[in-house]
Structure 1
């Protein structure tokens, strides 16, 4: 079975294979016991379409370096997810970003010059296997079963949301609104030793206040300003996530750990 080109695989994916009725006619879904791919994952990519929902649960930050993308922080330190236990089960009900919900499926180009995206999956996930139990991926006549049709539609919508997200971030970059972020959090039992979190970008509120009236009016009308405020409001969740880590005994000894 052919494997899709994979110079670098996205977060969560260990392998990538095109899904087709010839090679995977007998494959069925095997949901497993939980969201195992989220275990120990503290930062999950987020689309701008999800900001309003996500800001109620997580801090929303932007990755550092070039090609900045929005991230939902499910923990403040590498290897810490305060919402998923070691078995991949939710500790409490929480919004799961679409990036994580689409796994193990992914739309990818099978060749560098390919114009169309093909539905692929991670065969290493163990979520789609040749078995007698679970929901079928293909009908007896080879047509995609509802599960595959739903996965394809979800992935297509995710790609569309990803394009809107890139356009949103580019607007922020064009106006030089992203700056290196830093958050200091102190524990009540040791107020003299703050935990300093860096390694992410956030909106520069001073430059936002200096935004020209024409752009401010345009962004208010097209929804960009609402996304900006959702991000800014979500930053209060930093302390909430830190509190969750402290309650779970997952606050490290050392200072200055990167959040993203």
Structure 2
């Protein structure tokens, strides 16, 4: 635990970051928060490979564009739209699996400098999670049990992130990624909505892998992860429907539905 905030671009959700220290936070406490309000504007969050089986039941899991892709859980199909939370950042469905990235907030482990070897526990000071209510951060000048639990969860997340990086490295070496595209044809419109800007596993290349490669992927745990990813893509249409119900769908379709509803009301 150190005293200098990390100087680099902030990750998704975080609006600030400062290391937790006895000197600055010795008398403060950890309070539970429902979720950052900014969550309502976040349409995708990073996820780890261990989460794919749980995620695929609720969210599409895709890979970001570019040469260094990372797996993402899509919570919306448009920038600034989250189909699962309200304007205060609270989940509308109590039975959804919540990605570990969100559950980790407002804490995270970070290197305070580029050359630092160790990771320090940091918090987003804008979150409202640190104050005079809740569980103490420190007891008898040592991190409290509550702080240790937070630290343990953040460490588990970091280990998951390392395993995810290894998975992505092997996926690229196998040349299994392709540019993704999903077309959704709503009733009443001539042209479909086409979503791009992500990557996905190429099912054709995947089906043509040799038995030896598939056996190895099964042994190292890659196979069920890839299958969960492919199954999750069906959730894209579910999110589209969620957005439409919330009035956050494509402008053209939203306008068409508003006109139809007005015509019914006037009839």
Q: Is TM-score (shorter-chain normalized) higher than 0.5? A: yes
5+ residue gaps, structure 2: 254-267
Match for residue 87 of structure 1?
A: 88
Deviation at 1:74, TM superposition (A): 0.8
Displacement of 1:66 after TM fit?
2.3
Are residues 10 and 33 of structure 1, via their aligned partners in 2, closer, same or farther at CA, if it must alter by over 3 Å?
Answer: closer
Report deviation, 1:37.
3.9
Aligned residues: 251
Match of 2:142 in 1: 143
Aligned residue number for residue 78 of structure 1:
79
- TM-score, normalising length: structure 1: 0.92
Deviation at 1:35, TM superposition (A): 4.2
What residue number does 1:203 align with? 201
1:59-138 matches, cutoff 5 A: 59-93=60-94, 94-129=96-131, 131=132, 133-138=133-138
Distance 1:100 1:92, change over 3 A: same
Maintained 8 Å contact 1:3/1:16: no
Residue 4 of structure 1 and its aligned partner are, at CA, apart by: 2.1
Measured in 1, the distance between the counterparts of 2:104 and 2:153 equals: 7
* Structure with a larger share of its residues in helix: 2
Alpha-carbon shift at residue 3 of structure 1 (Å): 3.2
Please identify the structure whose Cα radius of gyration is greater.
Answer: 2
Q: Contact 1:58–1:234 (CA<8 Å) still a contact in 2?
A: yes
1:158-173 to 2 correspondence within 5 Å? Answer: 158-173=157-172
* 1:1-260 correspondence runs (5 A): 2-93=3-94, 94-129=96-131, 131=132, 133-139=133-139, 141-190=140-189, 192-253=190-251
Query: Paired residue for 2:262?
Result: none
Q: Which moved more, 1:199-208 or 1:211-220?
A: 211-220
RMSD: 1.6
Give the Cα–Cα distance (whole angstroms) in 1 for the partners of residues 240 and 7 of structure 2: 36
Cα distance in 2 for partners of 1:9, 1:176 equals 30
Structure 1 unaligned spans of 5+: 256-260
Deviation for aligned residue 1:211: 1.3
Question: For 2:79, what is the secondary structure of its paired residue?
Answer: coil
